[in-house]
Copies of this chain bind each other. A is one copy, B any other.
Amino acid sequence: MALDRLIEAIAKKQNPTVAGLDPKLDYIPGDIKEKAFRQYGKTLDGAAAAILEFNKGIIDALCPIVPAVKPQCAYYEMYGWQGMKALHDTIAYAREKELFVITDGKRNDIGSTMQAYAAAHLGKTEVAGETAAAFGGDALTVNGYLGSDGILPLLDVCRAEDKGIFVLVKTSNRSSDEIQNQALEGGEPLYETMGQYCEEWGEALPGKYGYSGVGAVVGATWPAQLGELRGMLSKTFFLVPGYGAQGGGAEDAAPAFEQNGLGAVVNASRSILCAWQKQNTAPEDYAKAAAKEAEKMRDAILTKIGRIRL
């Protein structure tokens, strides 16, 4: 199952982190933008071209270091279909470089509509007997508020195409308690129920390292809940946002991991993409600065969790 490929890449690179590709124009060096705007104007096409060139530089620099990248759909969608083409091309480029791609779309719907999202991001789209991969990631983040009708349509595609999903369980933001921490009749918070559904849904996609193809998103900003859920959800691999710019550190992310260093992949986006601005690096060295920051993050987490063993 797909998360096996992610887990193997994590062990091989000894790096349980994923680099978020959230390419705001503010993060992109002026030269890249000016070149794109000269060619396409200050337009959605121009922005999309700048984003793609920036991403390729980041991917080239990070691919020896990180096992995975996580493009955030919103930062492509805001540039229209032109941005979505940049998302497609980014995913294709990252996969060429043998990176595992987690498409962060938080998609959700039911039945045949969810099948359409599964085709879009994980499977293949059929057109009159011919097939094509629309976006072609390795895993997709999804929102489980609609229940099993929104998740089961993904599982068949995951099995057939060797892909995975990550379901939002306890998100990194401050107000995640408003809904996710609602206490149920037995006193337990709602996010535990969502977590238990992940275990249940995951039974359809068993993996060889003990983790299913149905992962969970749990924020590094909630270390206590992260540890609680790690103890409770033995077959569920975690995608952990909230590291770096959102305030979580290596010690906050550590409860997501088992003794063998498996169990989670920690995401950072802004701190890596903007490293050149924070380090006062020359803009043309933005990718080198990102690589340095990614190594720093890897080392900080490995110091806490030790060597990763399959």
State the A residues within 8 Å of B (CB).
22, 24-25, 33, 37, 41-44, 46-47, 72, 74-75, 77-85, 87-88, 106-114, 116-117, 119-121, 125, 127-130, 132, 134-135, 143-150, 168, 171-180, 182-185, 187, 190, 193-194, 197
Which residue of B106, B148, B187 contacts A175 across the interface (Cβ within 8 Å)?
B148
Q: Which residues does chain B contribute within 8 Å of A84, judged by CB atoms?
A: 77, 80-81, 84
Q: Is there an interface contact between A33 and B128, defined as CB atoms closer than 8 Å? A: yes
Q: Is there an interface contact between B77 and A88, defined as CB atoms closer than 8 Å? A: no
Q: Which residues does chain B contribute within 8 Å of A190, judged by CB atoms?
A: 179, 182, 190
Q: How many copies does the complex hold?
A: 2
The answer to whether A147 and B116 touch (CB under 8 A), given A110-B173, A125-B79, A190-B190, is no
Quote the shortest CB–CB distance from A127 to chain B (angstroms): 5
Q: Is there an interface contact between A180 and B147, defined as CB atoms closer than 8 Å? A: yes
Q: Is there an interface contact between A173 and B145, defined as CB atoms closer than 8 Å? A: no
Q: Is there an interface contact between B127 and A47, defined as CB atoms closer than 8 Å? A: yes
The answer to whether A42 and B185 touch (CB under 8 A), given A74-B117, A85-B81, A179-B190, is no
Quote the shortest CB–CB distance from A142 to chain B (angstroms): 10
Complex CA distance for A108 and B44, rounded to whole angstroms? 22
Q: Which residues does chain B contribute within 8 Å of A134, judged by CB atoms?
A: 44, 77-80, 83
